[in-house]
């Protein structure tokens, strides 16, 4: 299948889908770029004039921008830390020979199937509510004052909710990686006198490095754009304490009707996402080679 003819044919056949995907990406990107350079507010009809980098200046000098930038970073790193560490632990537990392990594995994946809005609402109203929530009841039973999660620790609460959603994903990927570990290596380590901790740190963990890299890369892409969980729980508040870049762009363009400013924010978000992507690929991308 490697003749010149078949290769040319393959390229021709691929062309429509490549063009479609390219247009799908290029057209919105160009429109966003265009909007970001004009003064375009839905409340102010009339001539949309070119304003240069003014939209960007407003967006980047907004104090809310820095707060939401760091919130985004905390959110991504926090969720990554919890899901990777918890995922490795969960994967090791799920790898043990237990009765009904296939059913347990499917059950563990369940949080991933729940829509973000639904799971955030469940957490907000049934678990973290300071009056009716399960955690509040538990705190009162222990004699503590209940924590008002979304008022006192809004960002951490969102990190917890998002981690709960992404933990199964990480656990499942890591579980398949653990299962691909050559059992003879563990047996050799047994004979070499390695205890459970040595075996974990010298054999299991290095073996998992590729899977961990994949989980980090995939999760980061999705975690940079967390939105629904913030909208239904804290609406970015109190103040801007749980606003991330995505949510800030939403407030700019749809709550303040400033399409120009929102578009500038969108372009900034794209640039930040690319910086993060390059940074990650440089840092851990070599794990994926070979």
Partner 1 sequence: MGSITLKQVTKNFDEVNVIKPLDLEIKDGEFIVFVGPSGCGKSTLLRMIAGLEDTTSGNIEIDGVDATKTPPAKRGLAMVFQSYALYPHMTVRNNIAFPLKRAKVSPAEIESKIANAAKILNLTDYLDRKPGQLSGGQRQRVAIGRAIVRQPSAFLFDEPLSNLDASLRVNMRLEISELHKSLATTMIYVTHDQVEAMTMADRIAVFNAGIIEQVGTPLELYKKPVNKFVAGFIGSPKMNFIDAPQNENANVSCIGIRPEHLTLSTEQGTWTGTVGVIEHLGSESFLHINIEGKGTVTVKADGDCPLKYGDSIFLSAPTDKILKFDKDGLTIR
**Residues near partner 1 (CB under 8 A):** 182, 184-185, 187-195, 198, 202-203, 206-207, 209, 290
* Neighbouring residues of 70: CB distance < 8 A, sequence distance ≥ 6: none
In angstroms, what is the minimal distance from the CB of 148 to partner 1?
47
206 vs 238, beta carbon nearer partner 1: 206
* 88 vs 264 by CB, closer to partner 1: 88
Minimum gap (Å) between residue 187 Cβ and partner 1: 5
Least Å from the CB of residue 14 to partner 1: 34
- Terminal-to-terminal C-alpha distance of the chain: 26
Question: In the bound complex, what is the minimum distance in angstroms from residue 186's beta carbon to partner 1?
Answer: 9
The span from the CA of 61 to the CA of 246, in Å, is 17
Please, what is the minimum distance in Å from the beta carbon of residue 203 to partner 1?
A: 6
Phi and psi, residue 256, nearest 5°:
-105, 5
Smallest gap from Cβ 96 to partner 1, in A, equals 17
Assigned token pair, 138: 């538990």
Count Cα atoms within 13 angstroms, Cβ side, for 16: 2
d(CA 129, CA 148): 7
Q: H helices of 38-130, where?
A: 54-61, 63-95, 101-108, 110-113, 116-122
Cβ-based burial of 79 (10 A; exposed 0-12, middle 13-18, buried ≥19): buried
Which of 284, 288, 67 is CA-nearest to residue 177?
A: 288
144 torsion bin: left (phi>0), alpha (psi -120 to 50), beta (else): beta
| Residue 53 vs 202, nearer CB to partner 1 | 202
Q: What is the CA radius of gyration of the chain?
A: 24
> Angle 113-160-144 (CA atoms, 0-180°, nearest 5)?
130
According to DSSP, residue 38 is labeled B
Closer Cβ to partner 1, 49 or 289, answer by number: 289
Kindly tell me which of 203 and 267 has the beta carbon lying closer to partner 1: 203
> Minimum Å distance from CB 94 to partner 1?
23
Nearer to partner 1, 57 or 182 (CB): 182
**By C-beta, is 185 or 274 nearer to partner 1?**
185
Q: Is 50 helix (H, G, I), strand (E, B) or coil?
A: strand
Shortest gap between Cβ of 90 and partner 1 (angstroms)? 23
**Residue among 126 and 188 whose Cβ is closer to partner 1:** 188
């Amino acid at each position: 299948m490697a003749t010149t003819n078949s290769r040319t044919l393959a390229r021709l056949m691929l062309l429509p889908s490549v063009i479609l995907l390219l247009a799908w990406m290029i057209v919105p990107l160009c429109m966003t770029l265009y909007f970001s350079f004009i003064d375009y507010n839905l409340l102010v009809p009339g001539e949309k004039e070119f304003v240069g980098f003014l939209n960007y200046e407003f967006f980047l000098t907004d104090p809310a921008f820095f707060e939401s930038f760091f919130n985004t970073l905390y959110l991504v790193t926090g969720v990554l830390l919890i899901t990777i560490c918890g995922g490795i632990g969960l994967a090791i537990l799920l790898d043990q020979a237990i009765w009904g392990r296939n059913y347990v594995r499917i059950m563990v994946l369940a949080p991933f199937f729940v829509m973000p809005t639904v799971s955030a609402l469940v957490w907000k109203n049934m678990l973290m509510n300071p009056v009716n929530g399960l955690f509040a009841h538990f705190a009162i039973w222990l004699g503590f004052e209940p924590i008002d999660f979304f008022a006192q620790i809004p960002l951490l609460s969102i990190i917890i909710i998002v981690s709960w959603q992404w933990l199964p994903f990480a656990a499942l990927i890591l579980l398949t990686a653990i299962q691909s570990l050559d059992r003879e290596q563990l047996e050799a380590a047994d004979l070499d006198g390695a205890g459970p901790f040595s075996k974990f740190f010298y054999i299991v963990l290095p073996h998992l490095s590729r899977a961990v890299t994949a989980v980090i890369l995939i999760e980061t892409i999705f975690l940079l754009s967390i939105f629904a969980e913030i909208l239904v729980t804290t609406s970015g508040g109190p103040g801007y304490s749980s606003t991330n870049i995505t949510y800030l762009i939403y407030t700019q363009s749809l709550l303040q009707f400033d399409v120009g400013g929102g578009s500038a924010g969108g372009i900034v978000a794209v640039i930040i996402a690319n910086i993060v992507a390059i940074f990650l690929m440089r840092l851990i991308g070599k794990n994926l080679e070979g």
